[in-house]
Amino acid sequence: MNRFFSLVRRDVSLAFRQGSASTMVVMFFVLTVTLFPLGVGPEANILQRISSGVLWVAAMLASMLSLDRLFQADFEDGSLDLLTLGSLPLEVTVLAKCLAHWLTTGLPLIIIAPVLGVLLHLEPSGFVTLMITMLLGTPTLSLIGAIGAALTVGVRRGGGLLSLLVIPLYIPVLIFGVGAIDAAIGGLTERPHLLVLGAMLLGSVALCPWAAAAALKLNLE
């Protein structure tokens, strides 16, 4: 367990030391959301209708920006081979790196999302559900994205291929995340949507590290 958290601290400290990846993710999220009022107009009723979808699509795209570096840096400097041969199972190593990725990308998106919700005139009844859906959904995005990152590690300019691989897998998270917020705004219960998001998170924790580890072993052979 100590080695697990040591690896998480290592990746988080490297991300903040370099700074560019986390800053890029947040800036992309903010700029993408702020472009919509300029594109569709400042009418509050229009922005209210699209606010949940805009926030989730922007968060989904922003979370992909740093995925290509999830394993690539360790692959290039040889650290990935050492991690593979270490005492910590590769699946647990992948899980630690996913947690570090979420802490440096998903968590900042969750913090900034309510501010952007105000910009888009999101209904007050939707703010709590927005936070809950992102708290459940963004870790799932990191875990699913790890599979794509593992499949494309070592591929030159693999960012485009990575996006093509993971976007179809992100769609269920997007659908139920937006659906939960719209249900809360419409006075309906958001519980079914949140339960599905929770189930997807648990399923991702159970399956994605093993799938990503298998892809890494295949690429390292």
- Model confidence over 176-186: pLDDT tens digits? 999 999 999 99
The residue with greater pLDDT, 13 or 52, is: 52
Half-sphere exposure of 68 (CA within 13 A, CB side): 16
Residues 26-36: what's their mean pLDDT? 92
Domains: count for the chain: 1
Kindly report the average pLDDT of the chain as a whole number: 89
Q: Do 80 and 74 touch, CB atoms closer than 8 A?
A: yes
Confidence of residue 87 (pLDDT cuts 50, 70, 90): confident
- Model confidence over 111-165: pLDDT tens digits? 999 999 999 999 999 999 999 999 999 999 999 999 999 988 877 776 778 888 8
Query: Which are the contacts of 77, defined by CB distance < 8 A and separation ≥ 6?
Result: none
From the number of C-beta atoms within 10 Å of its C-beta (0-12, 13-18, 19+), residue 26 rates as middle
Instruction: Choose among 204, 215, 55: nearest CA to 139.
Output: 204
The residue with greater pLDDT, 70 or 102, is: 102
Mean pLDDT lowest for which of 39-43, 92-96, 114-118, 211-215? 39-43
Structure token digits, residue 45: 């009723």
Q: How many residues would you count in the chain?
A: 221
Q: Which domain holds residue 74?
A: 2-220
Question: Is the model's pLDDT at 102 over the cut of 90?
Answer: yes
- Model confidence over 194-216: pLDDT tens digits? 999 999 999 999 999 999 999 88
Question: Is the model's pLDDT at 42 over the cut of 90?
Answer: no
Residues 12-32: what's their mean pLDDT? 84
Chain center to CA of 32? 16
Instruction: Find which of 17-21, 80-84, 119-123 is predicted with most confidence, using mean pLDDT.
Output: 119-123
Question: Is the model's pLDDT at 19 over the cut of 70?
Answer: no
Q: Do 197 and 136 touch, CB atoms closer than 8 A?
A: yes
Structure token digits, residue 14: 């490297």
The proportion of the chain whose per-residue pLDDT surpasses 70, expressed as a percent, equals 97
